[in-house]
Amino acid sequence: MALNDYITLGRSGLRVSPLCLGAMTFGEGRGWGSSVEECQEIMDRFIDAGGNFIDTANGYTAGHSEAIIGDHIGRDAAKRDRLVLATKFSSNLYLGDPNGGGSGRKAIIKQCENSLRRLQTDYIDLYWLHNWDVHTPIEETMAALEDLIRSGKVRYIGISDTPAWKVVEANLIARFRGWSQFIGLQIEYSLLERSVEAELVPMAQELGLGITPWSPLKAGALSGKYTRKNEGELKADRGAMVPLNEKTYALIDELEKIAAAHESTIARVALAWVRMRPGVTSTIIGARRVSQLEDNLKSTDITLTAEELAHLDSLTKPTPPFPQNMEAYFPAIHNGGTTINGVAGGASMIIRPGEKPY
């Protein structure tokens, strides 16, 4: 797969590249991001390679990330129109103002206006709800987003970091009222973070939401920077967010073997695994340096074999919660000893051979 092998996002006609450039590290205001010049070079290299999907948020470096993108892309009409620019609302940038963030109508409209100003564009291609606001009725949020779409300020909407049941409620309300529905789901997803496979991933597949994973390298834990050989020598850039333990090192050992077989790197293999997961449309990659971007882009050259996928899957397969942990028993309860859609029921748990129901 190449970066310009575009994919429609969820149940929509929006075409995006299989990798999305995440802009959380744009700007040095927090002491760990990229300079403006490096950000511009990263964007240019991503676009030149065929990428068309850039993701940011109003809260990233207090709005500076959006401004950097606006200065470099928003002012260039030809470049801006061929790109899918995505940003998010929810973050409050105004201390002391309770309506400065969240998902209420007043907050959403003002946040959108400020993002348009910083991005120097008339419209946002994909506007994400960044995280669930428990204080605002979801119908109010969906109504406000529908108004933004009808006004032409927003083209599509997506949702991030929200429980599956709330996403379903939002989209069903929108469907029954003839409003626009969320077409994308942004979630943390990696070989080291797979709890989303219990509810969020199946929900996205059922509703037709394209999954765009963030932190596919688990905050750098699977970047290849940390190995058994240098265990204890390097301090994790993001502290406790990087799980450097036996489970991680055991996974890295296996990633190293697969990377060697593909003449590639640990990071590329880990990214390829995420890219090839069911329901995933476009994986968000973050890069502070052009060299990191170059390495990540080459992950699209890797196609893991069925055996490699199964092996990696087995290493970190999560234990499902209730009621998913009971699903293995359901065929023996439902099927009456028959095979349905290729699923064998086995011996019935309900009735024995020769036994008649009352």
Q: Stretch 12-21: mean pLDDT, rounded? A: 98
Q: What Cα–Cα distance (Å) separates residue 315 from each residue in 95, 213, 247, 252, 309?
A: 45, 20, 9, 11, 10
Residue listed under structure tokens 């748990």? 349
| C-alpha to C-alpha distance for 356 and 342, rounded to whole angstroms | 26
Residue 61 CA neighbour count, 13 Å, CB half: 23
Cross-strand partners of 87 = 127
Whole-angstrom distance, CA of residue 145 vs CA of residue 174:
10
- C-beta separation of 82 from 89 below 8 A: no
Instruction: Specify the pLDDT at position 235.
Output: 66
Query: What pLDDT was estimated at residue 87?
Result: 98
User: What mean pLDDT do residues 20-47 have?
Assistant: 94
Q: Where are the alpha helices (DSSP H) in the chain?
A: 36-48, 64-69, 77-81, 105-119, 138-150, 164-177, 200-207, 246-261, 266-275, 290-297, 306-316, 330-334
DSSP structural state of residue 53? E
Average pLDDT of span 161-174: 98
| 181 pLDDT above the threshold of 90 | yes
pLDDT of 236 reads 60
Helix, strand, coil share (%) of the chain residues, nearest 5: 40, 15, 45
Domain ranges of the chain: 7-318, 320-358
CB-CB contact of 84 with 127 (8 Å): no
Count of Cβ atoms closer than 10 Å to residue 152 Cβ: 9
Q: What is the mean pLDDT of residues 322-335?
A: 93
Q: What is the pLDDT at residue 30? A: 79
User: Which residue did the predictor score with more confidence, 236 or 13?
Assistant: 13
Instruction: Report the pLDDT value the prediction gives residue 311, as an integer from 0 to 100.
Output: 97
pLDDT in tens, 284-305: 999 999 999 999 999 999 999 9
pLDDT at 243: 78
- Helix 246-261 to helix 306-316 angle (10° resolution) is 170
The pLDDT of residue 242 is: 74
pLDDT tens-digit profile of 141-159? 999 999 999 999 999 999 9
Q: Which residues are catalytic?
A: 60
Has residue 188 got a pLDDT over 80? yes
Confidence category of residue 333, pLDDT binned at 50, 70, 90: very high
pLDDT reading at 32 higher than 90:
no
* In contact, 304 and 269? CB cutoff 8 Å: yes
- Whole-number pLDDT of residue 231: 72
Domain at 7-318: CATH code: 3.20.20.100
pLDDT above 80 for 232 = no
**Whole-number pLDDT of residue 278:** 96
Which pLDDT value is given to residue 234? Answer: 66
Query: d(Cα 244, Cα 232) in Å, to the nearest integer?
Result: 9
Per-residue pLDDT tens for 339-355?
A: 999 999 889 998 999 98
